[in-house]
Amino acid sequence: MATRVETPNLESSSYQRQNGSTQSSIMGMDPTRVAQGLGWFSIGLGLAEIFAPRAVSRMVGANNHSSLVRFYGVREVLAGVGILTQPNPAPWLWGRVAGDVLDLSTLGRTLNGPDNNRGLAALGIASVGVVTALDYLCAKELSEQHAQHGNTALHAEANMMINRSPEECYRVWRNFENLPRFMQYLQSVRITGERESHWIGSVPGGATIEWDAEMTEDRPNERIGWRSLPGSQVTNSGTVDFEKAPGNRGTIVRVQMDYNAPAASVASMLAKMIGKEPEQLVNKDLRRFKQYIETGSVITTDGQPAGRRSGATWLDSLAQ
C-alpha cells in the first residue's frame, strides 16, 4: 500500500504561468535560483564544518569549538539537501534563518575572547549577517509564492479486515457522531442537516479547528463519501468502502482520503521525519475502529509512561 503525495513544483516557471502569477525577485534575481544557490552553499559549508571543523573555527576566530562546528555542519547539510530536493524549499530556508541566528549568537560570544580573535569574529559576523539577510528574503518570497499558488494535496489509503458484517460496519460509521470514539484527532461531530455535519478537531495547545462537511455518497452497506464545504480551515474529502470479505470472514473496510491545507507539504515532510505518514494515521484509526466495533471499547496508552501524552496527529502539523 502506498501514500501518494502530489505536490505542484513552485520552482517551475510553467506552473507559475498556468496560475497567472508574476515571478518575485531578490535584487533582480529569481528567488528559486537563489534558493538553489543557497542549498549548494549550505551543503558545501556543512561538509567543510564536518570534515575540517578546526580550520573553520580558526577562520572565524572561534578556536576550541570543533565539536560545535561539526554539529552545525550536519545542520547545514540537512538544510541544503532539503532546499534542493523539496518542491517547496521555503521551510528549509526558514530553518537556515534560525541556524544563522544561532551562528551569530555563537560568534557574538567569541567577541569576548582574546584580542587576536575579535577581528576574525567580527568578519565572521558580517559575513553571516549578509547570508542571513539573503536567507530571510528568499524564504519570505518563496513562502509568499507558495501561499499565492495554492495548497498542496495529499492522498492516503488504508484498509483493514473487520470481524463484523458490512451492514454493522456501515451502520456504526454512518452515525458520524461515533467517529470521535476511534479517531483521536476528532473532538466531536454534530449533525446539522440531512447531509451536512459540523466537525471539531484538536490542535496543539488545547486549541481546536472546525469545519463543515457534506456527504457526497451514501450507498447503504457499501460506501460513504464526504467532502468539506467551502471556507473550511482544513479542506478534505474521501470515501470509506465496506466490502464483504471472502469466506464470510467479515468486512474489508477501505478508506481513501485527500486533504489540502496551507503548508500541507510541510506537514507531510514533518510527518515523514517523525515516522507518521498520513497513511499510518489512517491505519491507526482503522485499528481503533476494529477494536471499537469488535469489543465495544478502544485500548489506549494515553497518559501512561510508554504512551503518547496527547492525541496529536497530522492536523497538528497543518496548524503549525
For the range 108-112, what are the long-range contacts, defined as Cβ-Cβ under 8 Å and sequence gap of 24 or more?
110/60, 110/61, 110/62
For the range 285-291, what are the long-range contacts, defined as Cβ-Cβ under 8 Å and sequence gap of 24 or more?
285/182, 285/183, 285/184, 285/255, 286/158, 286/159, 286/160, 286/253, 286/255, 287/160, 288/182, 288/183, 288/184, 289/160, 289/162, 289/172, 289/173, 289/182, 289/253, 290/160, 290/162, 290/163, 291/182
Q: What is the average pLDDT score of the chain? A: 76
Strands (E) located in the chain: 5-6, 152-162, 186-191, 196-202, 208-219, 223-228, 235-244, 251-261
Please give the average per-residue pLDDT across 293-311, as a whole number: 59
Q: What is the pLDDT of residue 196?
A: 95
Inter-residue contact 75 to 83 (CB < 8 Å):
no
List CB contacts of 287: < 8 A, sequence separation 6 or more: 160
Inter-residue contact 254 to 169 (CB < 8 Å):
no
- When pLDDT is cut at 50, 70 and 90, the band that residue 141 belongs to is confident
**How do residues 88-117 score in pLDDT, each as one tens digit?**
788 889 889 998 888 888 777 766 665 556
State the pTM of this model: 0.47
Residue that has been written with the C-alpha cell 507531510 in this structure: 268
Could you give all domains of the chain from N- to C-terminal order, each with its CATH number? Answer: 23-149 (no CATH), 152-319 (3.30.530.20)
Please give the share of the chain, as a percent, with pLDDT higher than 70: 69
pLDDT reading at 318 higher than 50: no
